């Protein structure tokens, strides 16, 4: 028996490949499925089943493409209503894979169709539980991401999630391994642990949903308070996962188009299109196409693209390093952004060589900031509110990056803004957004709050 976790850091997402005696299953695959097919080939196994824990909101699953390419059956839990052929399993239904088995445990709450999958080993012993977004390590799935058409309140869903966890998961043996769909950094929960596998026994100690510290009402209050606004692209991803989507290979072939500087410039003028620059932030600030939005491949790329652009149908013009074109289009497709018009042929260097207009972002070190901190300047902190609990610069204005475009009215285009996040990635995204909206006097604080802490600036 083999159980392999395939973890994608950008999405903080775990997919799973399971093999036994020449038969295999995949749980919650990403949209590009070649890696699972390769694993099956290396294992001399045939993929028999594709298990989906629910209709995902934060990424496009690869179940349809993988089923098409392998002939495997797609399995959903009870109450799933997909727009394509698949198996809607019954609660406790068992699926054989070689000499092991996987049982369906219906655990509504995160969504109504949410289900966990219990793997029994060759000795018919409970070995591990694939919990999807029902149970994370240290947390549970947020109760406000179910299909909007169901009109279910987060309070109702939180209540039945409490029942699911206490009645269906908690009774399992302490030595059962927990394999969740996400880890720290995902927007599908509030406070996930960084580790990606743990025993149920340890989770019964450290996880508030399992350790008995909350009754049902207390759990509902804890789960529904301070949820924050889910990214705007989430409902679109749910719909694509439920109704169907274009084959990834077709999307890649369609979008992988080089565009000349002349044509790129003409297309970028269109108000319906966005120039997305995915280079490193330290390179971007030194020069970029005016009006570009920066979201670097070196960070949590796909979730931030979704949060910033919001509409998955946005026409995207890509600026990337040479050789990064396929990676960019692949990672955009993971969150449903399939409408890529193409990429700038030759990258940003070709734009510079053509003597086209270039914009840039000023920067300042935390140590240089000391010299001007007491003057009449505006400090903008784009971290999450929770991050500021560990310290912030006095008199800094906090506007988390995910809502900055909705708070523009409280900023003044005649003022200078010194902007920081934790390390410099999000602050550069913020700078690019504000530049695009007409703010010219912007200074990125290099290294973010990590460098601010190392300086002698006063932190409160």
The rounded average pLDDT for each run of 10 residues, N- to C-terminus, in the chain (460 residues) is 96 98 98 97 98 97 98 98 97 99 98 98 98 98 80 93 98 98 89 94 97 96 88 94 96 97 96 96 97 97 95 98 98 98 98 97 92 83 93 94 94 95 97 96 95 88
Are 99 and 229 within one domain? yes
Based on the domain organization, do 227 and 296 belong to the same domain? no
Same structural domain for residues 347 and 202? no
- Counting every residue written for the chain, the total comes to 460
Residues 321 and 231 in one domain: no
**What CATH number does the domain containing 301 carry?**
3.40.250.10
> Is 136 in the same domain as 18?
yes
Task: Measure the CA–CA gap between 64 and 50, rounded to whole angstroms.
Answer: 9
Do 231 and 266 lie in one domain? The reply is: no
Does one domain contain both 368 and 322? no
Number of Cβ within a 10 Å radius of residue 266: 11
Q: 375 and 341 in one domain?
A: no
Tokens of 34: 């070649």
Examine residue 155 and state whether it is found in any structural domain, yes or no: yes
Burial readout 144-181 (b: 16 or more C-beta within 10 A, e: otherwise): bbbbeeeebebeebbbbbbebbeebbbebeeebebbbb
Q: How many domains does the chain have?
A: 3
Q: How far apart are CA 397 and CA 419, in angstroms?
A: 10
Please say which residue of 211, 235, 259 terminates a domain.
235
Query: Would you state the pLDDT for residue 190?
Result: 82
Residue where a domain stops, chosen among 353, 375, 390: 353
In 3D, which of 328, 325, 317, 333 has the Cα closest to residue 272?
317
For 36-67, b where at least 16 C-beta lie within 10 A, e where not — what string?
beebbeebebebbbbbbbbbbbbbbbbbbbbb
pLDDT at 147: 67
Say whether both 231 and 255 belong to one domain.
Answer: no
Q: Is the pTM of this model over 0.75?
A: yes
How high is the pLDDT of residue 297? Answer: 98
Confidence at residue 149, expressed as pLDDT on a 0 to 100 scale = 63
pLDDT value, residue 422: 96
Q: Which of 336, 353, 370 is the last residue of a domain?
A: 353
Q: What domain range includes position 380?
A: 362-454
pLDDT at residue 148, as a whole number: 65
């Amino acid at each position: 028996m083999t159980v392999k976790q395939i973890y994608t850091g950008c999405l903080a997402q775990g997919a799973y490949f399971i093999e036994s005696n020449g038969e295999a299953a995949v749980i919650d695959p990403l949209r590009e499925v070649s890696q699972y097919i390769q694993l099956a080939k290396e294992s001399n196994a045939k993929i028999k089943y594709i298990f989906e824990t629910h209709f995902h909101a934060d990424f496009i699953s690869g179940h349809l493409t993988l089923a098409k390419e392998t002939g495997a059956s797609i399995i959903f839990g009870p109450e799933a209503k997909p727009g394509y052929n698949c198996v809607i399993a019954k609660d406790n239904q068992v699926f054989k894979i070689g000499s092991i088995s996987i049982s369906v445990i219906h655990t509504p709450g995160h969504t109504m169709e949410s289900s966990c999958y219990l793997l029994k080993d060759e000795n018919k012993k409970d070995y591990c539980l694939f919990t999807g977004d029902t149970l994370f390590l240290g947390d549970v799935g947020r109760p406000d991401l179910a299909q909007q058409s169901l009109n279910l309140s987060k309070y109702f869903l939180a209540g039945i999630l409490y029942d699911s966890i206490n009645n269906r998961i908690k009774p399992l043996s302490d030595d059962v391994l927990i394999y969740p769909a996400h880890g720290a950094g995902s927007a599908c929960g509030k406070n996930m642990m960084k580790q990606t596998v743990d025993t149920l026994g340890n989770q019964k100690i450290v996880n508030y949903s399992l350790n008995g510290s909350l009754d049902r009402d207390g759990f509902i209050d804890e789960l529904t308070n301070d949820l924050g606004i889910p990214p705007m692209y989430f409902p679109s991803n749910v719909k694509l996962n439920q109704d169907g989507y274009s084959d990834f290979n077709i999307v890649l072939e369609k979008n992988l188009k080089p565009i000349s500087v002349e044509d790129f410039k003409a297309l970028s003028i269109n108000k319906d299109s966005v120039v997305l620059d995915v280079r490193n932030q330290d390179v971007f600030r030194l020069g970029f196409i005016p009006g570009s939005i920066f979201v670097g491949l070196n960070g949590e790329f796909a979730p931030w693209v979704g949060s910033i652009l919001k509409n998955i149908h946005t026409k995207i013009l890509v600026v990337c390093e040479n050789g990064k074109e396929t990676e960019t289009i692949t990672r955009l497709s993971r969150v449903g952004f399939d409408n890529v018009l193409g990429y700038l042929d030759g990258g940003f260097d070709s734009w510079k060589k053509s003597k086209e207009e270039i914009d840039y972002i000023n920067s300042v070190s935390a140590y240089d900031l000391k010299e001007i901190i007491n003057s009449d300047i505006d400090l903008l902190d784009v971290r999450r509110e929770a991050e500021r609990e560990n310290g912030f610069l006095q008199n800094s204005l906090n506007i988390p990056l995910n809502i900055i475009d909705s708070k523009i009215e409280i900023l003044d285009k005649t003022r200078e803004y010194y902007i920081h996040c934790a390390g410099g990635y999000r602050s550069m995204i913020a700078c690019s957004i504000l530049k695009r909206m007409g703010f010219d006097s912007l200074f990125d604080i290099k290294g973010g709050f990590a460098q601010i802490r190392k300086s002698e600036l006063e932190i409160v």
